[in-house]
């Protein structure tokens, strides 16, 4: 099929839940993608913070291939070594004692929401089920996670929402304090808001939430689905502040594009789940966990993370130089290799122009250009983006 035919058949055969760009992609390698027409693109989207080690890294493809020939799936009625190894590694590199495996970010958050309710019910009885979440947050598209999401646009049309969520201002511990009442069981927060426009809270924000949660015995849940797995230059974003949660969710980059989600928890929190509490058929298959083991091994390496911080600082500096040149750039923000550039007009046209120049970027919260390159991106590739933006901005 040529690109045109693909697009037509997509429109006639696939639910139209996405606005897609006019681009069909056939192949990827490292930070580059190739279109149906053979054209090369520099990819600074990475499948929305998923392909952190780039596209089709040969060592991951080899592991995937070998595991596919050995064992793909047996269900969680049995033990498999890749799954156990992944759980052991995740608990070694994090605050957590236990892992639950599933297949996506929304599912990981569903598990966290269920765990928080059960934890609180077992200790305090019914009536203590409200989870405080943040305005402009994003936690997924299932009914419970869109109810947890503090954005009306993902909720409209799907009412009645799941009960028991209360939204407060992000980056304001005092607004969480005001919202806590006898029904509260947990606080759910992204350490950096991704979809909300790359919003980095003040350095003492998580510590403020930690204090409140400990005082009231609420579970502090971090959604690190987008900002975890090395994206910010630490393995997990909250490690910049050194404030541990009780529960954390991961997904996107954990297996570099093979679908996986996980909920990590302390023993104290995890004890609320017992056999039969929660389950999913595909959770933690040998296929996906074999790949995730290698991803975690590579990303948790200190020199790899140093590299992310280094190129991230360079990237940010180059974006700030553009900001000095163009008055319509109102802010540059982010950490490591999740960077946002807020414009004072909608960013969609800029995204399209970049694509014409062979560079893929993304736009979120309408006016925020978001850069989520593979973490293996080099300064040279950053320069190419910045030169492209400079040409486009000069013509605005």
Ligand X SMILES: *Cc1c(COP(=O)(O)O)cnc(C)c1O
Q: Which of residues 71-110 bind ligand X (CB under 6 A)?
A: 104-106, 109
CB 104 to ligand X: min, Å = 4
- Which residue pairs, CB below 8 angstroms and at least 24 apart, start in 296-301? 296/86, 296/89, 296/90, 296/93, 296/229, 296/254, 297/89, 298/53, 299/52, 299/53, 299/229, 299/230, 299/235, 299/253, 299/375, 300/89, 300/93, 300/230, 300/235
CB 57 to ligand X: min, Å = 21
CB 308 to ligand X: min, Å = 18
Which stretch, 69-77, 80-88, 113-121, 134-142, contacts ligand X (CB under 6 A)? 134-142
Contact residue for ligand X among 99, 198, 212, 251 (CB under 6 A): 251
Q: Which is nearer to ligand X, 67 or 104 (CB)?
A: 104
The residues near 390 (Cβ < 8 Å, ≥ 6 apart) are: 322, 325
Q: Is 138 in the site for ligand X (CB under 6 A)?
A: yes
Q: How far is CA 211 from CA 127, 173, 197, 243, in A?
A: 23, 10, 26, 10
Q: Which is nearer to ligand X, 152 or 302 (CB)?
A: 152
359-360, strands of its sheet edge to edge: 25-29, 32-35, 40-43, 359-360
CA distance 37 to 252: 28
Q: Which of residues 143-202 bind ligand X (CB under 6 A)?
A: 190, 194-195
Q: Which of residues 252-271 bind ligand X (CB under 6 A)?
A: 252
Q: Which is nearer to ligand X, 223 or 246 (CB)?
A: 223
Q: Is 225 in the site for ligand X (CB under 6 A)?
A: yes
Which stretch, 13-21, 61-69, 218-226, 343-351, contacts ligand X (CB under 6 A)? 218-226
Q: Give residue number: closest CB to ligand X.
A: 105
CB 227 to ligand X: min, Å = 7
Alpha helices for the chain (secondary structure H) = 3-13, 46-49, 58-70, 81-93, 105-124, 143-148, 173-179, 205-216, 267-270, 286-299, 302-325, 348-356, 379-394
CB 337 to ligand X: min, Å = 15
Q: Is 111 in the site for ligand X (CB under 6 A)?
A: no
The residues that touch ligand X, with contacts defined as CB under 6 A, are 104-106, 109, 138-140, 190, 194-195, 223, 225-226, 251-252
């Amino acid at each position: 099929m040529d690109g045109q035919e693909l697009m037509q058949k997509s429109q006639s055969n696939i639910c139209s839940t996405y606005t897609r760009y006019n681009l069909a992609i056939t192949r990827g390698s490292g930070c580059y993608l190739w279109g149906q027409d053979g054209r090369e693109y520099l990819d600074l989207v990475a499948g929305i913070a998923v392909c952190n080690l780039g596209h089709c890294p040969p060592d991951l493809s080899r592991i995937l291939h070998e595991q596919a020939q050995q064992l793909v799936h047996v269900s969680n009625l049995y033990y498999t070594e890749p799954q156990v190894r992944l759980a052991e590694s995740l608990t070694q590199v994090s605050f957590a004692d236990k892992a639950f495996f599933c297949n996506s970010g929304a599912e990981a958050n569903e598990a966290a929401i269920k765990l928080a309710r059960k934890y609180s019910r077992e200790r305090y009885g019914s009536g203590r089920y409200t989870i405080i979440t943040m305005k402009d947050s994003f936690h997924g598209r299932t009914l419970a996670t869109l109810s947890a999401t503090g954005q009306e646009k993902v909720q409209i049309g799907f009412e009645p929402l799941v009960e028991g969520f209360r939204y407060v201002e992000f980056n304001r511990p005092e607004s969480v304090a005001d919202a806590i009442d006898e029904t509260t069981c947990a606080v759910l927060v992204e350490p950096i808001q991704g979809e909300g426009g790359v919003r980095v809270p003040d350095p003492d924000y998580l510590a403020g939430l930690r204090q409140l949660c400990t005082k009231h015995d609420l579970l502090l849940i971090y959604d690190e689905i987008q900002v975890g797995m090395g994206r910010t230059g630490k393995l997990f974003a909250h490690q910049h502040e050194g404030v541990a949660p009780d529960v954390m969710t991961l997904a996107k980059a954990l297996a570099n594009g093979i679908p996986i989600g996980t909920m990590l928890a302390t023993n104290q929190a995890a004890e609320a789940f017992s056999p039969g509490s929660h389950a999913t058929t595909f959770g933690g298959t040998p296929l996906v966990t074999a790949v995730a083991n290698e991803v975690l091994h590579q990303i948790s390496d200190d020199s790899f993370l140093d590299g992310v911080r280094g190129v991230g600082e360079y990237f940010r500096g180059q974006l700030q130089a553009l900001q000095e040149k163009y008055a319509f750039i109102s802010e540059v923000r982010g950490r490591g290799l999740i960077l946002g550039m807020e414009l004072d007009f909608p960013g969609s046209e800029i995204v399209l122009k970049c694509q014409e120049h062979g560079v893929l970027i993304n736009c979120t919260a309408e006016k925020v250009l978001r850069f989520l390159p593979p973490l293996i991106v080099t300064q040279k590739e950053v320069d190419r983006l910045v030169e492209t933006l400079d040409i486009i901005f000069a013509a605005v």
